[in-house]
Amino acid sequence: MKKGKLIVVSGPSGVGKDTVVSKYLEKHKEDELSISMTSRAIRNNEVDGVNYYFKTKEEFEEAIDNNELLEYAMYNGNYYGTPRKEVEKRINNGINVILVIEVVGAMNVKNMMKDDCTLIFILPPSMDELRERLINRGTDSMDSIDNRLDIARREIEVSEKYDFKIVNDDLDKAVNELENIIKNKIN
């Protein structure tokens, strides 16, 4: 059986990457999202096991020690990581898997998987627009927003190392571009 594709999507916090990916997955139910593990606190609108597997710092560190994670990284003071087993099982069953992860984890996946993965970076139209979106989302304090914007500037520098870049200035257009990359541009 032909193996599934491993697709890594990154982009600054607030760029809308989760929305772009979920719209894409509504159209392509044959492809699947990897659900990450995190030690960050659950937000009001989130569900354990749907948005993330929410864990304590200690539980997360146990998963690291047991080699249960394909990759992990610290972001804004919390751990985030990709459960290895679920990804490997789906890929071996011919299912394309999308990881929506930050840049350190993405680079680690690239180093491990080489040409067996594709990295896609979603860019905001501008930094001002990104700031507006983070404020409007209303999930972070101003301190946390400033911190996320600092991280965003550094992430955008790393985006040079990605295979493809998409500017999210129009949601439908961004979804179409993602579709074109996954279905037509990679093997």
Smallest separation, CB 117 to ligand 5GP (Å): 13
Contact mark string toward ligand 5GP, 28..57, x via CB under 6 A: --------x---x-----------------
Question: In whole angstroms, what is the distance from residue 84 CA to residue 82 CA?
Answer: 6
Q: Which is nearer to ligand 5GP, 28 or 40 (CB)?
A: 40
Please check whether residue 94 is in contact with residue 4, taking contact to mean a CB–CB distance below 8 angstroms.
yes
Q: Which is nearer to ligand 5GP, 24 or 72 (CB)?
A: 72
Indicate whether 82 belongs to the interface with ligand 5GP (CB under 6 A).
Answer: yes
Q: How many residues bind ligand 5GP (CB under 6 A)?
A: 14
Indicate whether 134 belongs to the interface with ligand 5GP (CB under 6 A).
Answer: no
Indicate whether 168 belongs to the interface with ligand 5GP (CB under 6 A).
Answer: no
Question: In whole angstroms, what is the distance from residue 42 CA to residue 50 CA?
Answer: 11
**The binder of ligand 5GP chosen from 8, 16, 98, 105 (CB under 6 A):** 105
**Inter-CA distances, 31 with 25, 26, 91, 176, 183, Å:** 7, 9, 10, 15, 11
Indicate whether 79 belongs to the interface with ligand 5GP (CB under 6 A).
Answer: no
Q: Beta strands of the chain (E only): which ranges?
A: 6-10, 32-33, 37-38, 53-54, 69-75, 78-83, 97-100, 117-123, 164-167
Smallest separation, CB 12 to ligand 5GP (Å): 7
**Inter-CA distances, 150 with 40, 71, 147, Å:** 19, 23, 5
Q: Which is nearer to ligand 5GP, 1 or 65 (CB)?
A: 65
